[in-house]
Amino acid sequence: MMRYPLAAIGLSLLACTGTTSEAENCGGDVQVETMSLQSDRQGIVSIPLSLDSDDTVFQVVVENSGDGYVSTDGLVNPDGESILDWEDWYESHDSLTDAFYANASATTLNWPVRESDPGLTEGEWTLYASTLSDDFYYEGRRDVDVTIMRRSCAGSAMKLKATIAYAGDLENDSEVASATEAAVARWTSIYASHGIELSTEFISSDIKASLPSPSTGNAAYDTLYDEVGEGVLLVVGDDVGGAADLYGMAGGIPGPQVATEHSVVAVSWLVHAGANASFSDSEIDIYGETMAHEIGHFLGLYHPVEMGWNYWDALSDTDDCSSAKSCESALADNLMFPYPVCGSGGCTAQVDLSNAQVGVLGLNIGVR
Ligand SMILES: [Zn+2]
């Protein structure tokens, strides 16, 4: 879920309470329900999911109210059939969702992930999650907060609301503000070319300019998302997690669209601008592609192939290439390629998405 400039790649081993409300910007509705639950003695949380006949997508966010980690284990339909089981995916070289990995204080399952996944049916579903200790042992009797969002607007236009928040008074830096606005325009046009209409709003925040890692999580992100309330939230700062070479990072694949410590994408303007802290046109292009790429992660997309060339997304129409050369040849222009591909003639525009990748975006709860 991270994006590094090309120069850094060789140096890095990291691949990347019963309330109900309705949102209006959808042909159908998004129903939101929250509940407080506790894991059993074995550390398993059983979450009741009551689906209506017109529900097409849900996103469930489970947040640990204390220390430790949470993960999503599986999903059972009203007929008692297992629809999704973490054990089928945990050691796979195809990645479907971060929900299975206990690496944060919140776990987010957006389902279905792919257009090829079995659709929702009316009735009583059950979602299983686990609570784990700081050292990754199952830990029982832990309190969790659960948010269930259900969307019923199949076939309507794909619209996404995005808020861009400046950290550290960066909105007053004209170089940063003008480049950020130009980059957001590029992000908007990339998404528009795939049928997603992005609406954007710029705000200032009192987060400090050296941004916390969204993967580690931070209370300031929880507070800021709570203020924004819906859609996706992209925070612009000097650096992300103290890294001098990281373009940006998403708070999950997918990320939670309720207030948690992970509910943001963070991007560094400075890593894009480079050592002179001034933007060229091609740096602005990559800045915009990073925004589109990291929000792509936040909406559920993996890299089509990870660096190392032996882990892939779970989509059938992105090439399962297995070397840097073949992958750059097949996928360098893909928005979700793990790094910008540049040569003497400049960088390849990374704007392409396969049909299945667009399908994942359209099934995200935030795209309405
Ligand atoms: Zn990435």
Q: pLDDT value at position 152?
A: 86
Q: What is the DSSP letter of 34?
A: E
CA gap 236, 230 in Å, rounded? 18
Vertex 326 angle, CA 321 and 328, to 5°:
100
Q: pLDDT value at position 69?
A: 95
The rounded Cα 14 to chain-centroid distance in angstroms is 17
Q: pLDDT value at position 67?
A: 86
Residues around ligand 1, an ion, CB closer than 5 A: 3, 16
The class level of CATH for 30-151 reads mainly beta
Q: CB of 236 within 8 A of CB of 180?
A: yes
Task: Kindly give the distance from the C-alpha atom of residue 254 to the centroid of ligand 1, in angstroms, as a whole number.
Answer: 12
Task: Kindly give the distance from the C-alpha atom of residue 57 to the centroid of ligand 1, in angstroms, as a whole number.
Answer: 24
Look up tokens 């410590």; give the residue: 261
Q: pLDDT value at position 20?
A: 40
pTM: 0.92
Task: Kindly give the distance from the C-alpha atom of residue 2 to the centroid of ligand 1, in angstroms, as a whole number.
Answer: 5
Q: pLDDT value at position 326?
A: 98
Nearest Cα residue to 254 out of 18, 138, 96, 142: 96
Task: Kindly give the distance from the C-alpha atom of residue 207 to the centroid of ligand 1, in angstroms, as a whole number.
Answer: 23
- 3-state secondary structure (DSSP) of residue 214: coil
Q: pLDDT value at position 3?
A: 61
CA gap 87, 100 in Å, rounded? 9
Task: Kindly give the distance from the C-alpha atom of residue 277 to the centroid of ligand 1, in angstroms, as a whole number.
Answer: 23
Query: What mean pLDDT value characterizes the chain?
Result: 92
Give helix then strand counts, H and E, for the chain.
Answer: 6, 21
Task: Kindly give the distance from the C-alpha atom of residue 297 to the centroid of ligand 1, in angstroms, as a whole number.
Answer: 7
Domain boundaries, the chain: 2-15+157-362, 30-151
- 3-state secondary structure (DSSP) of residue 133: coil
Q: pLDDT value at position 9?
A: 39
Give the residue ranges of the chain where pLDDT is below 70: 1-28, 153-156
Longest dimension (CA), the chain: 61
Per-residue model confidence as pLDDT tens digits over 204-220: 999 999 999 999 999 99
CATH of domain 2-15+157-362: 3.40.390.10
Q: pLDDT value at position 153?
A: 63
